[in-house]
Amino acid sequence: MASEETPLVFSSAEIAHEAVYTRFSPSRKRVIVALVSCSAILPMFASGSFIPSIPQIALDLNSTGPIVSFGVSLSICGAGLGSMLFATYSGYYGRRPMYLWGLPLLCLGSIGVALSKTISQLMVFRLIQAFGTSGGMAVGGGVIGDIYKLTERGTAMGIFFAASLLGNAISPILLVQHDLAKYSSWRNVQLGLFFVGLVAYVGMLIFLPETSHPGTMGKDKAEAECAVDGDHQPSRRVKWVWLNPFSCLWLLRSPNLLLVTISAATVLYTDYALLVPIAYTIGARYNITNEAIIGACFFPMGLGNIIGAPLAGMLSDRIVIKWRKRRGGVWVPEDRLRATLVGAATLVPLSVVLCGLITHFVAGPLGLFLNLVCFFFNGLGVDLVLSPSSAYIVDVMHSRSAETMAASVALRSLLLSTAISGLLPSITFFGLVATNSAVGLLAWGGFLLLWLTIRYGDRMRAWVDVGYSTVETT
């Protein structure tokens, strides 16, 4: 019988496939992870700096909080659409061009938001801004899959998530300072995002190599076909190819991918349920009107994210190795999801339910402190779920990792954008306790979906074959 000490058995095909991961040195890999993580910080910077300023923006543009908060939903929707576009084209033209095309849109959108005079202008430029940042997570996940092998991927993905979520922790503090908490401060924040995006673009331009596996990009295959046909005309080799960005959604006909995506949406929804209405919940309950102080309340959740993501990644790698040894070298992709169960069952749902109860029943500094503790455990729990889930998606669809990540992000974004738009109205009509309790129940539903995927994942993969990876190709 195999034990945890039984050496893994590797086939010759698997050994040959792993050689592709030695193209970059460990130090070069760290530079690449740092670059793509910096790009993935930008969506968090954009949302983390926008949310605390919702009341101020509403006052400036003569609108209301619920209407301005719709900009959060719109940006999530734009990010979902953009991620599909960038991920689809990253499979054809490579990862690097996607960053060089997307970051200028972020810069344009940030300037537009800063100069907006009406709600309509604000919404349009928030959409462009989100579109420009959208490649960060999907294409970044593909980059991690390009350079790290199966038993290292969870740890690398955890570091990627931890670094990318740093923006959630520090953006409100860095960009919404006390001395900017005045009539025009939110515009200064958006101009700051323009300069951050510009610096990120220059970094990508100078230091980011192409990470796609040699010969796997669509343009490489097209050029190879041209060479076989005897056509060496450069104009044909660089001819633009129109691709359908929505085609990646067809991958979600896989029950495994669909259930993990829906579960991730229910978990991430708890984050937004706590943060989007924060000025009208914690701010109103504890008499906090300063945007900088409201923004500082994000920090415990961001700290939980930073701790939880690498912890979850390392844990999921160890679980993959442990269970594979137990099976005598047989790899079951769903083993990685075992790392999500504690966070999905306890930390995520309980934190959001307790926040509602504490805000309603506990006044004063004690109530605020307990809320921040719940924020920390929510951030920790969310990443204990999202980091292994993202690594799982890359594992099972390695050849189309960016597209699968994008499809997952797109569906998740659609679900979240719809649900988030109802948060403030729900709190207004049903109360905070009822709203947070409903969000907690949804999160428990997400835990059930993960458990079902772990329990019946092999059977569900047999129902619909969308081109799953094997141990030799993952």
Q: Which range among 231-235, 286-290, 426-430 has the greatest average pLDDT?
A: 426-430
Residue 229 falls inside a structural domain: no
> Collapsing DSSP states into helix, strand and coil, what is residue 120?
helix
At a CB cut-off of 8 Å and minimum separation 6, what does 227 contact? none
Residue 239 falls inside a structural domain: no
Residue 69 falls inside a structural domain: yes
Tokens at residue 23, please? 């193209």
What is the span of the domain harbouring residue 451?
A: 26-212+245-463
Residue 105 falls inside a structural domain: yes
Q: What is the dihedral of CA 350, 354, 357, 360, to 10 degrees?
A: -140
Q: Tens of pLDDT along 269-290?
A: 999 899 888 888 998 899 887 7
Q: What gap in Å lies between CA 404 and CA 248, rounded to an integer?
A: 6
Residue 6 falls inside a structural domain: no
Residue 226 falls inside a structural domain: no
Q: Tens of pLDDT along 152-209?
A: 888 888 888 777 766 656 655 554 444 444 444 678 878 888 998 999 999 999 999 9
Q: What gap in Å lies between CA 177 and CA 339, rounded to an integer?
A: 38
Q: What is the CATH number of the domain that holds 449?
A: 1.20.1250.20
Domain total of the chain = 1
Residue 238 falls inside a structural domain: no
Q: What is the dihedral of CA 359, 361, 363, 366, to 10 degrees?
A: -80
Residue 251 falls inside a structural domain: yes
Q: Give the least confident one: 40-49, 63-72, 148-157, 390-399.
A: 40-49
